[in-house]
């Protein structure tokens, strides 16, 4: 059997609940497929920080380097400042492995009560491509005269031509691969007159390589309104690190819940392992209670399988997910239901086993 080496990093909060759930579902798939998984678990995050003074070991990336993919939960601990947990773990991996494309699909799954009342599931099928290596989250900046009245603080939104070009090309290519071949380039070049103007210029330049892709530009603020009022006019979107961060939480909420949405932090050149995770965080308010919706992690596992080239298994998992969201008795509390993380996980595992047992139609 082909073996995929998968690193699991549950991290903090409900990450510790949803990542084992994801692992269980992947194991259920492997049991009915021609491949298997060799999981290695890494207990990095807030607890590691309390014991060692850092979120992950200094040579942590070396332990991940030879993996085929990473399944991640969340970084964020109630007792540690968020910028330490984020930069010390998740961003360290994203930047260390140059996972410059953050891909976030959004659809309204069957059975989910989405807040866009006039929108059918067919009218909301988006993929947001987030620049994941620079921009507003490049880490460039500083504070001077800290605590004094004359204090100055900056976070420089640093963009490089090479960085923008590669994410634009990725987004155009992705748009080209989807049925509608439609791309919206999200911008803010009216107010941010340097980097974002370059962003627009590069979009125009890269678009020449993709004559079959229809594309338009939208200011990020207007884009939020368009997502609510005219969802069907959007398909693939590309936006900066900060803009896409915000737009994709909005997208998830419009599709029913933050607990459903998946993401992949991808190195398209495959020099390093890519990392898949639900878009949500540690969810301090519900952690340890069995209330976490594991669907975002399951859908992230679908993306992980697609990345490995296991498209049949990916499809099988997506079908199982859609069957359980269609059943309101299997909705967790964020969807208005009473099901627990474990019940949803077991239901998905059972679906996978039964569909595999069902004989093929003659
Ligand atoms: P959050 O995503 O953790 O939670 C926001 C709200 O959504 C909460 O009410 C929570 O209960 C709910 N929610 C989230 N996921 C859910 C799920 N699977 N099932 C049911 N309900 C769910 O965002 P936050 O509260 O802003 O952040 C909490 C911590 O997580 C912070 O430390 C933050 O920095 C961190 N965080 C980490 C990541 C990451 O690791 N990628 C992403 C976002 C936030
Ligand atoms: K996450
Ligand atoms: Mn976010």
Q: What is the whole-number distance in angstroms between the Cα of residue 76 and the centre of ligand 3?
A: 12
User: Which of 20, 252, 281 to mutate for ligand 1's pocket (most ligand atoms within 8 Å of CB)?
Assistant: 281
- Residue 120: per-residue pLDDT: 87
Q: What is the pLDDT of residues 214-234, one digit of tens each?
A: 999 999 999 999 999 999 999
Q: What is the whole-number distance in angstroms between the Cα of residue 354 and the centre of ligand 3?
A: 36
Q: Whose CA is nearest to atom 42 of ligand 1?
A: 281
Q: What is the whole-number distance in angstroms between the Cα of residue 111 and the centre of ligand 2?
A: 24
- Residue 174: per-residue pLDDT: 98
Q: What is the whole-number distance in angstroms between the Cα of residue 74 and the centre of ligand 2?
A: 4
Q: Taking CB atoms and a 6 Å cutoff, what residues make up the pocket around ligand 1? A: 14, 74-76, 82, 85-86, 90, 258-259, 277, 280-286, 292-293, 296, 332, 334
Q: How far lies 78's CA from each of 75, 104, 189, in Å?
A: 10, 26, 36
Q: Which two tokens stand for residue 196?
A: 């974002």
Q: What is the whole-number distance in angstroms between the Cα of residue 136 and the centre of ligand 2?
A: 19
Q: What is the whole-number distance in angstroms between the Cα of residue 56 and the centre of ligand 2?
A: 16
Q: What is the pLDDT of residues 49-73, one digit of tens each?
A: 999 999 999 999 999 999 999 999 9
Residue 68, class by beta-carbon neighbours within 10 Å (0-12 exposed, 13-18 middle, 19+ buried)? middle
- Residue 340: per-residue pLDDT: 98
Contact 278, 288 (CB under 8 A): no
- Residue 362: per-residue pLDDT: 42
State how far the Cα of 104 lies from the Cα of 126, in Å rounded to an integer. 8
Identical fold, 1-102+263-362 and 115-139+154-254:
yes
Tell which atom from ligand 1 comes closest to the C-alpha of 75.
40
Q: What is the whole-number distance in angstroms between the Cα of residue 209 and the centre of ligand 1?
A: 38
- Residue 28: per-residue pLDDT: 97
User: Which of 76, 80, 289 to mutate for ligand 1's pocket (most ligand atoms within 8 Å of CB)?
Assistant: 76
Q: Whose CA is nearest to atom 38 of ligand 1?
A: 281
Q: How far lies 67's CA from each of 57, 298, 312, in Å?
A: 17, 19, 21
Q: What is the ipTM of this complex?
A: 0.99
- Class (C level, CATH) for 115-139+154-254: alpha beta
The total number of residues shown for the chain amounts to 362
Residue ranges covered by each domain of the chain: 1-102+263-362, 115-139+154-254
Tell which atom from ligand 1 comes closest to the C-alpha of 77.
32
- Residue 36: per-residue pLDDT: 98
CA of 243, nearest ligand number: 3
Q: Write down the architecture of domain 1-102+263-362 according to CATH.
A: 3-Layer(aba) Sandwich (3.40)
State how far the Cα of 191 lies from the Cα of 84, in Å rounded to an integer. 30
Q: Which residues of the chain have pLDDT under 70?
A: 358-362
- Residue 360: per-residue pLDDT: 57
Q: How far lies 82's CA from each of 12, 76, 91, 105, 191, in Å?
A: 12, 6, 12, 25, 28
Q: Which two tokens stand for residue 334?
A: 């964020």
Q: What is the pLDDT of residues 300-345, one digit of tens each?
A: 999 999 999 999 999 999 999 999 999 999 999 999 999 999 999 9
User: Which of 73, 282, 341 to mutate for ligand 1's pocket (most ligand atoms within 8 Å of CB)?
Assistant: 282
Residues 6+ positions from 147 with CB-CB distance below 8 Å: none
The whole model's pTM is what? 0.95
Tell which atom from ligand 1 comes closest to the C-alpha of 297.
18
Residues 6+ positions from 341 with CB-CB distance below 8 Å: 17, 18, 21, 290, 291, 292, 293, 294, 332
């Amino acid at each position: 059997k082909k073996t995929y080496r998968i690193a699991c990093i549950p991290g903090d909060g409900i990450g510790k609940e949803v990542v084992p759930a994801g692992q269980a579902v992947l194991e259920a798939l492997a049991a009915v497929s021609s491949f298997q998984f060799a999981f290695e678990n890494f207990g990095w995050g807030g607890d590691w920080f309390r014991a060692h003074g850092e979120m992950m070991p200094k040579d942590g990336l070396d332990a991940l380097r030879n993996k085929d993919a990473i399944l991640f939960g969340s970084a964020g601990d109630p007792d540690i400042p968020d910028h330490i947990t984020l930069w010390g773990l998740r961003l360290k991996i994203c930047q260390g492995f140059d996972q410059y494309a953050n891909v976030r699909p959004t659809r309204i799954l069957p059975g989910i009560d989405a807040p866009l009342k006039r929108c059918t599931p067919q009218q909301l099928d988006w993929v947001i491509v987030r620049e994941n290596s620079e921009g507003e989250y490049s880490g460039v900046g500083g504070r001077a005269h800290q605590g004094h009245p004359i204090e100055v603080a900056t976070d420089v939104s640093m963009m490089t031509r090479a960085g923008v070009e590669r994410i634009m090309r990725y987004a155009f290519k992705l748009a080209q691969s989807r049925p509608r071949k439609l791309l919206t380039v999200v911008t803010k070049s009216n107010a941010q007159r340097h980097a974002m103007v370059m962003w627009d210029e590069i979009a125009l330049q890269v678009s020449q390589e993709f004559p079959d892709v229809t594309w338009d530009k939208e200011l990020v603020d207007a884009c939020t309104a368009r997502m609510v009022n005219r969802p069907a006019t959007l398909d693939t979107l590309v936006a900066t690190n900060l803009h896409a961060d915000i737009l994709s939480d909005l997208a998830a909420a419009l599709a029913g819940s933050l607990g459903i949405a998946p993401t992949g932090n991808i190195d398209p050149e495959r020099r390093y392992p890519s990392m898949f995770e639900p878009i949500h965080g540690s969810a301090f308010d519900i952690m340890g209670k069995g209330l976490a919706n594991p669907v975002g992690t399951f859908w992230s596992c679908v993306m992980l399988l697609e990345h490995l080239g296991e498209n049949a298994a990916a499809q099988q998992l997506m079908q199982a997910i859609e069957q359980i969201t269609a059943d309101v008795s299997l909705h967790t509390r964020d969807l208005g239901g009473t099901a627990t993380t474990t019940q949803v996980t077991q239901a998905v595992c059972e679906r996978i086993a039964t569909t595999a047992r069902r004989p093929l139609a003659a």
